[in-house]
Structure 1
Amino acid sequence: MKPGIRNQIIGMMRFSYPSEGGFLKGGQGEDPAFEARLYAPDRLERRFRMFEKLALPSLLAQTDDDFRMVFLIGRSLPDLWRDRLTDLIAPLRGARVVALPSMPHYKAIRRAFAMALSDTATHVTGFRLDDDDALDRDHIARMRQVVGALLPISGLDLPLVTGCNRGFFLELRADGNRLLAANEKNPGAQGLAMTTPAQVSENIFRRNHRFASQFYNTFTDANQIGFIRTVHMDNDSDPHATGSIEPMEWDAAAPLIAQHFPFTAEMLQTL
């Protein structure tokens, strides 16, 4: 990174936030029926289970822990669940719960990012992560290195998108979980980031992540195993790979999972 550039890394996780828009499968905002589905205890228990087993451990295990992590929730989230989330993220350096009323999706995201931004940052790298996915333990360190190398080339005043093409899809199935090795053709959402000058409010949620390279200078690493994406009954989007995807035997995957993630293949099999 050039002298004088102070790049702040901020992660964003929408934790069952009842936005106006942003959901592909219907429902939005303060509609009581929508909030009832979003905050249904059985659904939230499933979300917390995946968060506790996948997303949170992967954040706690980062080899570079110099980042802030924003957990965006609705002000209407019942205290029981809000307190549980707050207690869980307490060990995570830089973690912060932001509770907002229901508002248009991108407006809420922009406001939440702004609340985490340091006054001393010249640039911000904002990345996204869902509560049911995981990042490899070197994600932040690799992102910082890649952004530092590419930003001066791409342009200090232009958005730069960085991410990872390679990882695993984890299908949660009643007849036994299945693992698939994926190498995406288009950028996936897991850990995808956008770097901009700090005064620019545009962020990685501005466009559909699949189309990032259509609008921004984009670098995605096709060599490193960078993510685990879960496929299950509560997915809002249609989970599909845009490149190659092949089933992988658990015995073959076990050493790769242990190398890149803070959990075991056995845990993934029983999640």
Structure 2
Amino acid sequence: MHVQMLGLCRFSYLGGRGFQVTHDSIEERRAFLYDPARLERRWFWFENITLPGILAQTDPDYTLVMMTGPDLPEPYLSRLHELTTLAPQLKLALVPPMEQHWAACLAAVAPHVDPKADVVGHFRQDDDDAVAIDYIHHARQDFAAMEPLWQQQRRLYCDYSRGLVLKANRNGVQVQPRVIHNASVGLTVYLPPDVQSTAIHFPHWRIALSMPGVTMAERLMYVRFLNHDNDSGMIGAGFPLETGSEDWAAILADRFRVDLATLDDAARQFGLPGADRPRWGK
């Protein structure tokens, strides 16, 4: 059975609903998203957290659609274009502002669905989170064991729930290993190719109401990065894991190709507190 792995990464997409930080007008939202200092931080996290792991996948057979607006300021729009020339797995979708966020995400993803695939493994890749370098490999391989369950409703999710939470503020970056139930990162939604839905169509915190699921927590599979520019910054339901003498810098480098010292220095240089969100870091 052929499983297509298809992800969506929204980079400062200018649109209507779909986020917890709201604005009274599209002009106000554009000013917020395209603020030069904010875009500088967003690109830094994207380049140093998200890209290293996704580009180092042990199974390179996947597509990641990078979704943004056609008026994203330079040099960031050109940088996204350049990425598509460096990595064939990366595709760029320029979507004009749309009020219905689900429709906008579908407009970005739908052209890249392989109609010949038996199953599409949709995943959501936020632009400041990371997946382990073997995420695609396991998401495709593990589906074989889950296929009988998928056949019942022809929809299924797999939650790789063990990961690392990194909290960044003016004092640097703290690392906490954690199990998070159905976090947005490390969550795969398996659907038939003819279904007009993406991972975004199923809110991750209540996805169990939409389909059966499987949880796998034996290996570190994601990095959830909490920083000043998070939309909400909630950790989500779950629990911290006991720690010993782990070398988190070595683990981050090995599993995610992330340099902890670089992130720590950047957090201090940006000099920002935790985000002013009611449940940031909780």
Q: After TM superposition, is the score higher than 0.5?
A: yes
What's the % identity of the aligned pairs? 29
Secondary structure in structure 2 of the residue aligned to 1:155: helix
Of residues 125, 137, 141, the one that matches 1:129 is 125
Matched, 1:57 2:52: yes
* One-letter identity of the residue aligned with 2:170: A
Check the 8 A contact 1:59/1:92 in 2, yes or no.
Answer: no
Q: Assess, with a 3 A threshold, how the Cα gap between structure 1 residues 96 and 174 changes in structure 2: closer, same or farther.
A: same
Letter aligned with residue 149 of structure 2:
I
SS at match of 2:200: coil
RMSD: 2.0
Q: Tell me if the contact between 1:169 and 1:230 (Cα under 8 Å) persists in the aligned partners.
A: yes
**Which amino acid is 2:210 matched to?**
F
Pair 1:156–1:12, CA change in 2 (3 A): farther
1:8–1:121 CA contact under 8 A, matched in 2: yes
Structure 1 residues 61-76: aligned runs within 5 Å: 61-76=56-71
Pick the aligned partner of 1:27 from 23, 31, 35. 23
1:144-203 Cα shifts (integer Å, max 9, x gaps):
01122212333175211113111111111211211111112x211113121111101122
The answer to whether the aligner puts 1:196 opposite 2:191 as a matched pair is yes
Matched, 1:239 2:231: no
Normalised to the residue count of structure 1, the TM-score between the two structures is 0.90
* Deviating more after overlay: 31-40 vs 199-208: 199-208
2:35 & 2:23 partners in 1: Cα distance? 14
Further displaced range: 257-266 or 38-47: 257-266
Equivalence map 1:195-214=2 (5 Å): 195-214=190-209
Q: Give per-residue Cα distances to partners, 1:26-50, cap 9 Å, x unaligned.
A: 127x711110110111111100000
User: Does 2:8 correspond to 1:12?
Assistant: yes
Question: TM-score normalized by structure 2?
Answer: 0.87
Whole-Å Cα distance in 2 between the matches of residues 116 and 156 of structure 1? 26
Q: Please give the alpha-carbon distance, in whole angstroms, between the structure 1 residues aligned to 2:23 and 2:188.
A: 27
Alpha-carbon distance, 1:265 to partner = 3.5
Kept after mapping to 2: 8 A contact 1:182/1:243: yes
Map of 1:178-189 to 2, 5 A cutoff? 178-184=174-180, 186-189=181-184
**Does the 8 Å contact 1:179/1:250 carry over to 2?**
no
String of CA shifts for 1:113-159, please: whole Å, max 9, x gaps. 11111242232111111010111010000000112221233317521
1:179-234 CA distance string (max 9 Å, x none) = 111112x2111131211111011221112201112221111211110111111111
Letter in 1 for 2:128: D
| Ranges in structure 2 where 5+ consecutive residues have no aligned partner | 267-282
Judge conservation of contact 1:9–1:126 (CA < 8 Å) in 2: yes
Question: Which ranges in structure 1 are unaligned for 5 or more consecutive residues?
Answer: none
